[in-house]
Amino acid sequence: MTDTTPAVAMQGVNAWFGATHVLRAIDLTVAPAETLVICGPSGSGKSTLIRAVNGLVAHQSGTIRVAGLALDGSAKATDAVRARVGMVFQAFNLFPHLTVLENCTLAPLHVRRLGLKAARELALGHLDRVGLADKADSAPAELSGGQQQRVAIARALCLEPQVMLFDEPTSALDPEMVGEVLDVLTDLAAGGTTLLCVTHEMGFARAVADRVVFMDEGQIVEIAPPEDFFDRPRHPRTQGFLSRIL
């Protein structure tokens, strides 16, 4: 990959679930180190869009490339893309029977084939980055929701991914824990991680996003830097959405 290869490039992407046309002619290019926030009403296709980026949802037409690698439907391409993309969901999905450290060393050991010592060092480094190195030997159930989500982020970072995908990473958290997770995302964005994040946290979007995407009915309706997006939304549907949530 050269410096000019987009982290994510989607061209003319369409996807259907049965008869439902869930992604409509999506064109989206994300530069390396860019932070993109994706917002829009429930059912607009936000989760489907970011899941398509790591092949969790198949697209029926158009092209999707991650760091230059095309998702062509083959298992080989899908595996290669997934090894480059970290994903964090609303529910933390930690393995409950493994320690925090073991959750984080799984992918390094089994996907990246590192030795145990290297995998543990890598995992401890990323746990330290999210402020939880001291919880390495804890069980997930011993942690708060915010801490569990920070572990989920560290676990995804252990892939050393070229792109990080977040699907409403703070929506399942008690309000007092939202800030600590957004702080980690802010740190990642500042550190040059390429980040696509679906969220309703518009304060975060305004402060951290390079561009904000508004989706409705499977389409990208508007995409703009946050100052334009929030202060001068161009599309009536964006204006309506913002007036309801802000």
Interacting residue ranges for ligand ADP, rule: CB under 6 A: 17, 20, 22, 40, 42-48
Give the Cβ contact number of residue 171 at 10 Å: 14
Q: Which of 35, 44, 47, 194 binds Mg ion (CB under 5 A)?
A: 47
Identify what 44 binds: Mg ion, ligand ADP, none; CB under 5 to 8 Å per kind: ligand ADP
Identify what 146 binds: Mg ion, ligand ADP, none; CB under 5 to 8 Å per kind: none
Q: How far is the CB of 50 from Mg ion (least distance, A)?
A: 9
> Looking at beta carbons only, is 24 or 206 nearer to ligand ADP?
24
Q: How far is the CB of 196 from ligand ADP (least distance, A)?
A: 13
Q: Quick one: three-class SS letters along the chain? A: CCCCCCCEEEEEEEEEECCEEEEEEEEEEECCCCEEEEECCCCCCHHHHHHHHCCCCCCCEEEEEECCEECCCCHHHHHHHHCCEEEECCCCCCCCCCCHHHHHHHHHHHCCCCCHHHHHHHHHHHHHHCCCHHHCCCCHHHCCHHHHHHHHHHHHHCCCCCEEEEECCCCCCCHHHHHHHHHHHHHHHHCCCCEEEECCCHHHHHHHCCEEEEEECCEEEEEECHHHHHHCCCCHHHHHHHHHHC
Q: How far is the CB of 18 from ligand ADP (least distance, A)?
A: 6
Strand partners, 165: 87, 196
> Looking at beta carbons only, is 46 or 65 nearer to ligand ADP?
46
Q: How far is the CB of 21 from ligand ADP (least distance, A)?
A: 9
Piece in contact with Mg ion (CB under 5 A), picked from 6-14, 33-41, 47-55, 137-145 = 47-55
Identify what 45 binds: ligand ADP, Mg ion, none; CB under 5 to 8 Å per kind: ligand ADP
Angle between helices 100-110 and 145-157 (to 10 degrees): 20
Piece in contact with Mg ion (CB under 5 A), picked from 32-40, 41-49, 116-124, 141-149 = 41-49
Q: How far is the CB of 188 from ligand ADP (least distance, A)?
A: 21
Q: How far is the CB of 44 from ligand ADP (least distance, A)?
A: 4
> Looking at beta carbons only, is 85 or 198 nearer to Mg ion?
198
Contact residues toward Mg ion (CB under 5 A) are 46-47
